[in-house]
Amino acid sequence: MIPCYKRKYYICLYYSSHLFILSFLYALYRKRYHFSIIPGSILLTSIHYWKYPIKSYKRNIDILVVNTFLPYQHYRAIHSKYANVYFTIYFISLINFIISIYYYNKKHHWFSTFAHMTLHILSNAANIVLYSD
């Protein structure tokens, strides 16, 4: 099968996926073990998918993991003292995801890649804010 992106694009997303180790380790450091499962799982599924991104079970599992854990994090964030900061960062990362899809469909792969990499960065920042409470 042909990958969704050319290697020069998806390798950037493969490496930016490794950033989830930061929020995973931070959750462990803060003794938020129930939260550490989330970035740990996303780290594994994201790296597995972006190593060679084809539309297959790898992509479906990555999306499923993110969509399964996101409602839990949002629920916990509502009761956090940093809820406003968390949801602001999350909203900006969501905009980057939409931008990523838009540019991917327009065949502007560098813009799509940078927007998706920004999503990875901001998601980790939001996680760290949430785990700080």
Residue 47 and residue 112: Cα distance in Å, rounded?
Answer: 18
Which pLDDT score is estimated for 4?
Answer: 67
Residue 26 and residue 89: Cα distance in Å, rounded?
Answer: 17
Confidence band, pLDDT 50/70/90 cuts, at residue 6: confident
Confidence band, pLDDT 50/70/90 cuts, at residue 5: low
Residue 49 and residue 71: Cα distance in Å, rounded?
Answer: 22
Taking only the tens place, the pLDDT of each residue in 69-93 is 999 999 999 999 999 999 999 999 9
Residue 44 and residue 64: Cα distance in Å, rounded?
Answer: 13
Look at residue 9 and tell me whether its pLDDT is greater than 90: no
Higher-scoring residue by pLDDT: 91, 7: 91
Which pLDDT score is estimated for 1?
Answer: 56
Taking only the tens place, the pLDDT of each residue in 14-30 is 999 999 999 999 999 99
Confidence band, pLDDT 50/70/90 cuts, at residue 133: confident
Please tell me the pTM assigned to this model.
0.91
- For residues 96 and 117, is the Cβ–Cβ distance under 8 A? no
